[in-house]
Structure 1
Amino acid sequence: MVQKVLLLGSGFVAKPTVDILAARPDTEVTVACRTLAKAEELAGDAATTKAISLDVTDEKALAAALAGYDLVISLIPYIYHATVAAAAIKQKVNILTTSYVSPAIKALDEDAKKAGVILFNEIGLDPGIDHLYAVKAIDEVHKAGGKIVSFLSFCGGLPAPEASDNPLGYKFSWSSRGVLLALRNNALFWENGKIVEIQGKDLMKSAKPYFIYPGYSFLAYGNRDSTVYKDLYKIPEAQTVMRGTLRYQGFTDFVLVLVDLGFLSDAPVEYMTKPIAWKDAFAQLIGSPSSSEADLLATIDSKATFKDEEDKSRILKGFKWLGLFSDTPITPKGNPLDTLCSTLEELMQYEPGERDFVMLQHKFGIEWADGTTETRTSTLCDYGDPNGYSSMAKTVGTPCAVAASLILDGFYKQTGVVAPLTPEICDPIRITLQEKYGISMIEKTL
């Protein structure tokens, strides 16, 4: 019997998912995107794939598109997942996303159970592969009578070092807007038995050097609410629990100045609705008396904080590289955040032949029953293939495809909202990723 998969989205990470599922015997994959040409490009010319145009905000069109499918994979922006899931539940279609379980998704748990479908989430890289190895190590330690007294997990999707050749040391392997919006989130975590909260405006200031390998110079900062992982990972004994983001040295200082100057605001402004010169838009954003370079520099000086003169010089050169002092017209998006995103996306794409890079590491502080202690790490260090998949696509799209295959094969009997947070759910995905696709975290005791 032919099984049918509807994949929504045509973004950076979808290609491995399509390729792996299309290679399954008796599986057909339909790629749906608002723009048919994008869907056709992702679907390729395999006999088992096809493409359609679909706007998920069109309720009737979405319901009609879902009819007859066994699984829908939602790789569109997370704000649409609940809409897709609700429609799929009505059609008794299983659902898979790589995104965090949101309150809107959680609210669909009972409906999914009544419909007898699984609503599987958090199976990409982070969240995803991180869960697989956190659950593995924690389960092993608990079964051996030990305690997890601290848990640190940091992940970064970055350009390979030789491709980190711009003022931010960063290039986009996923939504630029998503990258910048994440920099405004508050961070909440456990540290030495106390909950620490970092306000979004102070997130970049909280970044600290983080050592993984001597060959890399990373900074790390908290990512959203880590406190929930005491419960989710079943480690109530842990005194420190923190999940966060890795960036190269220099990134956070640069972003901090962007924050100081108002670039991360998505509040509408009239002057960014027309293609005026960047220097004129910049002058209005920061309240400069004119768009002359001298006035712009003086106003920046009055509003921004720099670590030192060397750092200031580097960041101002970066602003010139971005064209903020130039006559180059903005791509008007109506607010500072999205207008900046347009420029960043134009200047900070991967060039042909360049590689991206993923670093993910867990660090477990372990205390054994006899009082001895141990530090254990699980580390994924992966580079993209310029002639194949990017590392981000591989490490998000492959776990997604493996989980989708297990759902199609009827392996998971659970219904309702599910995330990979138990050995029963994690182990088959983790083992398949390692044995079939060579994707694994290397475990060491320090």
Structure 2
Amino acid sequence: MTIHWCGTGLSSAPGLRRLAESGADLVVWNRTVEKARAVVGDLCSDIRAFDADALRDALRPGDVVVSMLPGDWHIPLAETAIDKGTHFVSSSYVSPEMAALDGAAKTAGVALVNEVGLDPGLDHVMAHWLMADYRASDAFDPASEHRFLSYCGGVPAQPNDFRYKFSWSPLGVLKALRSPSRSIRGGAVTDVARPWDALSSYAAPLPSPESFEVYPNRDSLPFLAEYGFGDDWNMQEFVRGTLRLNGWSDAWADVFAEIETLHGPEGDARLQEMSDGFWAAHAYDAGEPDRVVLCVDLMVGPKDAPVYHKTFVLDATGDARGSAMARLVSVPVSLAVEGAAAGQIAPGVSTAPRDAEAVAKWLDVTREQAQHVAVVDHL
């Protein structure tokens, strides 16, 4: 069984290192072989120029293909995996096109595993842990008020005036700022056109309490079922969102204002130009530590007298092992690769694990990758 890891961007090395140290048979595919050698040459001797046809020819039944490539490659590689009888792993969200491959993957007996990075990924695992803990408690009652929050963000460990730094191309961040969100607030579905229209403050229960600016992103509602909240549950709040340093909205006010004016091909061109400028001005310097903060919170009962309230918190900074973002994206990917290779993940399209044994393993490994991981009981 061979693991075919495609893409060696900034978030690949720690996961690759973990697989290499376990003795896995690795082939690394990258558009530029020289760049891949510079990043992972000490981990893998078999580095090849990425080519879809060459990859297809190299795949054998039972292999695993990992896509750390741009999102438009996920579907073609997943389709190739189905045709060749190999498993597929990606850290990205399940797209409608990926979901549509579920039946074919089941027929082929292969696992198409997605949402196994940081966010989405570890946030799912923490949510599954909290839900299992709550269901096993005396407080469990679907009729009670339920409030669920999940906020994650990569922020500079050494705050700057821009209140942010980029781990990879800023284009994705800028595009996300143009996207609407859907969540539950005050017991009602809430649609927001732009993130800055829904900014609020969140007090993270870290060892030294710290507040952040937060906002909902994407459509949170499909994750109600993903996490096990029933249609008949009393949901007062359900938000999956992004976390930023205090002062971020002020520092980015001009960015927000310009994004509002961008439309059509000319707007896309300007967005790319902005991305290039931000990458030049606000990328991490070599060796500069980044920081990742993730908080997943479940409160049950009235706000002033909850019967259950716990928060899973993670705080990590870059160190000699690599950036915090790289560790917390690619190490979970490596766990999914191991699970798929061992036949522990059912055929079809799936996301981060929810069974107790796998959740426990993922959280144990996560504790090794972050400086602080804890469950805070507020009662």
| TM-score by shorter chain over 0.5 | yes
Which of 335, 345, 348 aligns to 2:279? It is 345
State the match for 2:110 in structure 1.
Answer: 117
- Equivalent of 2:269 in 326, 335, 348: 335
Letter of the aligned partner of 1:399 in structure 2?
P
| Cα distance in 1 for residues equivalent to 2:199 and 2:370 | 32
1:206 maps to what in 2?
198
Residue number in structure 1 paired with 2:99: 106
Counterpart of 1:193, as a letter, is: G
Aligned residues: 367
TM-score (norm 1): 0.76
Aligned equivalents of 2:350 and 2:196: distance in 1?
33
Relative to structure 1, the CA distance from residue 343 to residue 38 in structure 2 (aligned partners, 3 Å threshold; closer, same or farther) is: same
Q: How many Å separate the matches in 2 of 1:264 and 1:421?
A: 41
Give the match for residue 17 of structure 1: 15
1:40 aligns with 2:34: no
Q: What is the DSSP-based 3-state SS (H/G/I as helix, E as strand, rest coil) of the residue aligned with 1:239?
A: strand
2:74 partner letter? H
Counterparts in 2 of 1:382 and 1:415: CA distance versus 1, 3 Å: same
Question: Structure 2: 5+ residue runs without aligned partners?
Answer: none
Deviation at 1:204, TM superposition (A): 1.1
Distance 2:261 2:6 in 1: 29
Alignment partner for residue 155 of structure 2, among 155, 158, 163?
A: 158
Q: Which residue of 2 aligns with 1:422?
A: 354
Secondary structure of 2:335 counterpart: helix
Q: State the distance in 2 between where 1:405 and 1:95 align.
A: 11
Which secondary structure does the structure 1 equivalent of 2:264 belong to? coil
2:126 & 2:168 partners in 1: Cα distance? 23
Say whether 1:81 aligns with 2:74: yes
Change (3 A) 1:425 1:89: farther
Pair 1:401–1:440, CA change in 2 (3 A) = farther
The answer (yes or no) to whether the contact 1:361–1:379 under 8 Å persists in 2 is yes
Q: By how many angstroms is 1:150 displaced?
A: 0.8
The residue identity in structure 2 corresponding to 1:157 is G
Measured after TM superposition, the shift of residue 141 of structure 1 is 0.9
Q: Deviations over 1:29-82 (max 9, x none)?
A: 111111121222233134x542111144xxx34422434671001111222211
Match of 2:324 among 374, 381, 391: 391
Per the alignment, do residues 405 and 225 of structure 1 end up closer, same or farther by CA in structure 2, a change over 3 Å counting? same
- 1:437 CA displacement: 5.1
What SS is found at the alignment partner of 2:262? coil
- 5+ unaligned residues in a row in structure 1: which ranges? 270-284, 286-333
Residue 205 of structure 1 aligns with an amino acid whose one-letter code is: D
Q: Which residue of 1 aligns with 2:333?
A: 400
Q: Which of the residues 252, 257, 260 maps onto 2:257?
A: 260
Equivalent position SS for 1:170: coil
2:311 touches 2:377 (CA, 8 Å); kept in 1? yes
- Choose which of 130, 134, 137 in structure 1 pairs with 2:123: 130
Q: CA deviation at 1:405?
A: 1.6
1:355 partner amino acid? P
Query: TM-score if structure 2 supplies the norm length?
Result: 0.89
Query: Distance in 2 between the 1:10 and 1:266 partners?
Result: 33
Q: In 2 relative to 1, CA 436–363 (structure 1 residues): closer, same or farther, beyond 3 Å?
A: closer
Aligned residue among 347, 366, 383 for 2:300: 366
Aligned-partner Cα distance in 1 for 2:257–2:367: 48
Report the equivalent of 1:218: 212
* Contact persistence 1:31–1:40 (CA under 8 A): no
Cα distance, 1:88 vs. partner? 1.1
Residue 141 of structure 1 aligns with which residue? 134
Contact between 2:88 and 2:111, CA under 8 Å: does it hold in 1?
yes
- Percentage of pairs with the same residue: 29
Aligned counterparts of 1:153 and 1:230: Cα–Cα separation in 2: 12
RMSD after superposition: 2.4
Aligned pairs for 1:213-292 within 5 A: 213=206, 216-236=210-230, 237=233, 238-262=235-259, 265=262, 267-269=264-266
Q: Which has the higher contact order (CA 8 A, sep 6+)?
A: 2
1:195 and 2:189 matched: yes
